[in-house]
Amino acid sequence: MSTEQALKTKITILPNGPLIVEGDFDIISPDGSTEMAQGKGKVALCRCGATQSKPFCDGSHSKIGFKD
Ligand code: FES
Q: Sign of the CA dihedral 42, 47, 53, 54? A: positive
Determine, yes or no, domain membership for 65. no
Determine, yes or no, domain membership for 10. yes
Determine, yes or no, domain membership for 48. yes
Determine, yes or no, domain membership for 16. yes
How much distance in Å is there from the Cα of 3 to the middle of ligand 1?
A: 32
Q: What is the pLDDT of residues 13-66, one digit of tens each?
A: 999 999 999 988 888 888 888 777 766 689 999 999 999 999 999 999 999 999
Residue 62 alpha carbon, nearest atom of ligand 1: 2
Residue 17 alpha carbon, nearest atom of ligand 1: 1
Give me the domain span that covers residue 54: 3-59
Answer whether 60 contacts ligand 1 (Cβ < 6 A). yes
Give the pLDDT of residue 33.
84
Helices (H), 1-68: 3-7, 60-64
Helix (DSSP H) and strand (DSSP E) numbers for the chain: 2, 3
Determine, yes or no, domain membership for 68. no
Determine, yes or no, domain membership for 67. no
Into how many domains does the chain fold?
1
